[in-house]
Structure 1
Amino acid sequence: MKKTKLVFLYLISSLIWLIASSYLLTHYIPSSLVNYFERGKEILYILITGGIFYFFILKKEELDTTKEQEKRLSTLINSMVDFVNFKDGDGRWIQSNDFGLKLFQLENVDYRGKKDSELAQYSEFYADALRYCEVSDEETWEKGQITRCEEVIPLPDGTAKIFDTIKVPLFHEDGSREGLVVIGRDITTLRQAEERLSRTEKLSLVGELSASVAHEIRNPLTSLKGFVQLLQMEDDNHQDYYQIMLDELNRINHIVGELLLLAKPQHIKYTEVAIQKILKDVISLLAVEANLYNVQIDFSFPKEDIILECEPNQLKQLFINLIKNSIEASKQDSKVAINLGLTENGKITVTIKDNGCGISKERLQKMGEPFYSSKEKGTGLGLTVSYKIVQSHKGHIVFESEKDVGTTVTITIPLVQDTQSAIVPSTVQA
């Protein structure tokens, strides 16, 4: 009740008391008792009003204590890096911390007393996520016990956060719903670290396997290649077979070379080269293969040479792997577009885009993993090597793809490296 109403009620009650007591004193109290009645009326009025004031003082102290506790609780939950939310038995929001309000873009919304489905009207981007929360809450109520699950919350910038969400239902003694406590911990960094660790372990296994096998393969491989070339010179009747054998031996040798690159650190000597020259050499090299697939290579480069500190052979291998993949994935009579640009912060960007079969989301997440390939005869090492080359040049590689639409690969590399020589680490972070 508001203060003005309380004061008004007090004045009306006091006025009624004065009028009523004066009326009784005048009409019903004997004159001999009038003096005693007046004193008693005054004492009774003091006791009643004093009791009322004492009651309100106690209530005010309780209210102040409650407000102080609420303030402490609000300070506590707002200092947490987790999403914390309290709801009543009907699923209406009672209290949420700043992290949760910012997460769902509800900072300027009077959220108290509203359900998730009602709050969805104030946050268009998170409308579906809020409605799903209401469904998830209902499932927790029905189970009648603490539930825990991982929820993926999309962000406006296109990324997403992973939350380990715990929901605690509270019930009255009669079994009716009392409230719900929701706590969501951001475990995105943890999951990314686990993924990197998994890839590192796989690459470590690749390194051990490569170191023990690659050299042993190359020794007999050299002998086989020499004998095949000798037979090819002496026998003119089976030239096609000999050429196929040499091609396959060269393919094995190429695979072994990729294994050796992953097996141990590689010393890099950076040199200054025009990136346009590297790309044009690669395009010329792959032009024949593009014609075989009936694919046209379009490129757009700046007229002025962009000088880049790099290991040219490694960058050639990088672009050969990526452009060749785009050609093989392209449809008949389609194009592979290659664009070169320069950013304001001193980095070059190379974009390779095709209109091919595209990559599914499941496969996109595994890009760069060793021995993982969508090709029938692929080894799964080409992109692993590509990731490693980009990493050794302090760059980044990003794949964007949509099934049956196409794939875009963006490589970003700084123009100037930190040192004139470096060592490629034996692990790669995709």
Structure 2
Amino acid sequence: MEAILLLMVSLVPLIISVTIIFYSQSQLTKALSLFLFMLSFWQMDIAVLYAGDFLSQDTIELLFKILRIGTICIMPVMYYFSYYLVSGNIEFKRFRVLFNKPFLYVLIFYSLFAYFINFTSLGIKDFVVMEGSLLSSEYVLPIYGEWNILFILNIVLLYLNTIILLIISFKIRDPIYKSFYMKFVIAVLIIYINGVFSGFIFIPLFFSSFNSLIAAVILFLSFFQMQSTHLNSMNAELSRQSELLEAIMDINPNYLLVKNGKEQIVKMNPSFLHLLSLENKNWLGRPFSYITDRINMVTEKPHRYVDSRGKNYFLIWGKKELIHSTGEEYHIYFGHDITEQKQNEQLMISSEKLKVVGEMAASVAHEIRNPLTTIRGFIQLLKEKNDASGYETILLDEIDRINEVLKELLILSKPEAKENENNNLPVTKAFLELKNIKVLFQAVANEQNKEIIVENREERELIASIDNSQFKQVLLNILKNSIEAISPQTGKVKVILDQKETHCRIRIVDNGDGISKERLARIGEPYYTSKEKGTGIGLTICLKLLKQNNGDMIVKSKEGWGTAVTIILPCIQ
């Protein structure tokens, strides 16, 4: 009965040994698994000695000698723990004199030699049957031979190694490994001390088996505590790395998108979400076409994109393939914003155009104005002599109109920097001029059933820092465009004057058809016009005059809703 019970107990370290080797394949795990394997054989060795009820004497003797491999060869396995710890940590470099690979091979050879001696009479001479007592039933006891000193030396080496390992364990810096090694050494000492006492018959032999069971459980729990702590530590580190990568991706100004092998979106950074005006995570897991339907992501050549706010972007896309360690395939798309580069290129082109216009305007003004002055003079004389026909008046008006056109062309090349006689800044009473401009358009508006409203939202009169004629030229141009854009009967243009911080703000809002995003992006570009008889220089002149006076013009529009033009000019307090 005792033999069966002891055999069952001895299987516990064997089961734990197999369990942990399947859990992990690290060197430390393999060493621990082999140690428990040897411990299991050691306890089976003891169990066999109590099997006299169902095994013959010869069978018990043979099995004892075979299973004694656990008792003898556990010593080099224990040495390996010290060797593994010392070789892997630079702070234990001084211990490498004692714990190195040559010594390990010597000890393995020594233990195997002692094990083979065990099969001769030099190792074990005979076996005797011990009678049962109050604490123990009948069992077989080996009588050791002359060379049993080899086994005793093996035990001494085992104890020395364990004591040195205990000393080294106190010096381990890693708290996880330190805790494991300390518990490991304590469990081993419990096994050894109890084994020695049992061997010298201070207590029954089978007592060592039950203590080995306790030690095996301690080792099992210590191992899994170490693995669990390491796993939690690794997960925490992975989590930190993941957060770091997420943060890097989030602050990246480029537009990033990751899709998997199933053409599903798995990640987009905030820059890209802002570009597409996507705020929630409804895009996660959607097909890649959900994005490509909104924006062209063909790689290697620039593409123009207009966002929902009407802002223009020029983007160039790249793509890289990523293969995960699991074999999963991912593609990362990265878009680079080259809008500023394109704007600089466009600015250079516009500058060249303005330069050409300026040169042409100067030439035209020189070549045409002089003959026009002569022609106007003669027509004026004809009018003074005979004004009955009225043709002279029409001719004079048309010549004056030609002069105005020439004057506009000259503004592009050489804007007038007008100052009054006292060298003060030019000023304009904004609301007064707006009312005068309304009067100029009121007749046309009434004729076409269109409404013009001028509203002043400031109690005091606002004085804009701009020449009166330039202010009028800008407003006439913009208001004319707004009136032309609205429909009869329902058309309405509202001009609102107010102050924003230190600037006068004039907003011209109409309910016309609006401007497309493509046309809106080219507002102010020289010679660009959508009108059949337009010259494409009206708004260019407006922008130039406003910039000359430290002002600005902002155009916002939505097709089907209308257009809002905001003029900003410095205010004189």
Same fold per TM (> 0.5)?
yes
Q: Is the 8 A contact 2:514 2:561 kept in 1?
A: yes
The equivalent of 1:131 in structure 2 is 290
Picking from 407, 413, 422, the partner of 1:263 is 413
Tell me the distance in 1 between the aligned counterparts of 2:319 and 2:551: 42
Picking from 258, 283, 289, the partner of 2:438 is 283
Letter matched to residue 280 of structure 1 = K
1:89 to 2:255 alignment: no
Cα gap change, 1:258 to 1:179, in 2 (>3 Å): same
Matches within 5 A, 1:56-67: none
The equivalent of 1:395 in structure 2 is 551
Letter matched to residue 164 of structure 1 = I
Cα gap change, 1:73 to 1:306, in 2 (>3 Å): closer
The equivalent of 1:421 in structure 2 is none
Picking from 464, 488, 494, the partner of 1:337 is 494
The equivalent of 1:380 in structure 2 is 536
- Equivalenced residue count is 384
Q: Is the 8 A contact 1:342 1:348 kept in 2?
A: yes
Tell me the distance in 1 between the aligned counterparts of 2:293 and 2:512: 41
The equivalent of 1:298 in structure 2 is 453
Per-residue deviation, 1:31? 2.8
Segments of structure 1 that go 5 or more residues without pairing to the other structure are 110-115, 121-127, 141-145, 418-430
The equivalent of 1:165 in structure 2 is 317
Matches within 5 A, 1:26-41: 26=48, 30-31=60-61, 34=64, 37-40=67-70
Bigger fraction of residues in helix: 2
Tell me the distance in 1 between the aligned counterparts of 2:556 and 2:272: 30
Cα gap change, 1:346 to 1:208, in 2 (>3 Å): same
Letter matched to residue 290 of structure 2 = R
1:245 to 2:392 alignment: no
SS in 2 for 1:414: strand
Tell me the distance in 2 between the aligned counterparts of 1:363 and 1:101: 25
The equivalent of 1:422 in structure 2 is none
Per-residue deviation, 1:253? 1.2
Cα gap change, 1:158 to 1:42, in 2 (>3 Å): farther
How does the TM-score come out when normalised to structure 2?
Answer: 0.55
Picking from 408, 412, 419, the partner of 2:568 is 412
Letter matched to residue 37 of structure 1 = L
Q: Is the 8 A contact 1:369 1:384 kept in 2?
A: yes
Cα gap change, 1:103 to 1:293, in 2 (>3 Å): closer
The equivalent of 1:152 in structure 2 is 305
The equivalent of 1:118 in structure 2 is 284
Tell me the distance in 2 between the aligned counterparts of 1:286 and 1:151: 39
Letter matched to residue 67 of structure 2 = F
Q: Is the 8 A contact 1:206 1:370 kept in 2?
A: no
The equivalent of 1:324 in structure 2 is 480
SS in 1 for 2:508: strand
Q: Is the 8 A contact 1:85 1:97 kept in 2?
A: yes
The equivalent of 1:123 in structure 2 is none
How does the TM-score come out when normalised to structure 1?
Answer: 0.70
Per-residue deviation, 1:361? 3.0
Q: Is the 8 A contact 1:293 1:327 kept in 2?
A: no
Residue deviations 1:344-401, cap 9 Å, x none? x211111112233433333322222223333333322221111111111212111223
Between the two structures, name the one with larger relative contact order (CA 8 Å, sep ≥ 6).
1
SS in 2 for 1:210: helix
Per-residue deviation, 1:416? 4.3
Bigger drift between 98-107 and 193-202 goes to: 98-107
SS in 1 for 2:465: strand
Per-residue deviation, 1:202? 1.5
The equivalent of 2:222 in structure 1 is none
| Larger Rg belongs to | 2
Per-residue deviation, 1:50? 5.9
Letter matched to residue 369 of structure 2 = R
1:363 to 2:519 alignment: yes
Letter matched to residue 380 of structure 1 = G
Segments of structure 2 that go 5 or more residues without pairing to the other structure are 1-18, 24-28, 90-226, 420-424
Cα gap change, 1:242 to 1:370, in 2 (>3 Å): farther
Cα gap change, 1:197 to 1:8, in 2 (>3 Å): same
Q: Give me the CA root mean square deviation.
A: 4.8
Bigger drift between 327-336 and 250-259 goes to: 327-336
Tell me the distance in 2 between the aligned counterparts of 1:338 and 1:371: 27
Letter matched to residue 264 of structure 1 = K
Tell me the distance in 1 between the aligned counterparts of 2:368 and 2:461: 42
Per-residue deviation, 1:336? 2.0
Picking from 216, 240, 264, the partner of 2:367 is 216
Bigger drift between 367-376 and 312-321 goes to: 367-376
Per-residue deviation, 1:314? 1.0
Q: Is the 8 A contact 1:148 1:166 kept in 2?
A: no
SS in 1 for 2:68: helix
Per-residue deviation, 1:266? 2.6
The equivalent of 2:206 in structure 1 is none
Per-residue deviation, 1:283? 2.1
Tell me the distance in 2 between the aligned counterparts of 1:135 and 1:391: 35
Q: Is the 8 A contact 2:35 2:74 kept in 1?
A: no
Per-residue deviation, 1:255? 0.7
Residue deviations 1:106-154, cap 9 Å, x none? 9998xxxxxx95356xxxxxxx9982259999x98xxxxx755536384
Bigger drift between 35-44 and 324-333 goes to: 35-44
Per-residue deviation, 1:234? 4.5
1:201 to 2:346 alignment: no
Matches within 5 A, 1:187-198: 187-198=338-349
SS in 2 for 1:207: helix
Tell me the distance in 2 between the aligned counterparts of 1:186 and 1:231: 65
SS in 2 for 1:316: helix
Q: Is the 8 A contact 2:429 2:461 kept in 1?
A: yes
Residue deviations 1:199-256, cap 9 Å, x none? 22211221121122222211112222333344444455642x4444333322211110
Cα gap change, 1:78 to 1:272, in 2 (>3 Å): closer
Tell me the distance in 2 between the aligned counterparts of 1:37 and 1:393: 103
Cα gap change, 1:86 to 1:332, in 2 (>3 Å): closer
Tell me the distance in 2 between the aligned counterparts of 1:359 and 1:191: 22
Bigger fraction of residues in strand: 1
Q: Is the 8 A contact 1:119 1:130 kept in 2?
A: no
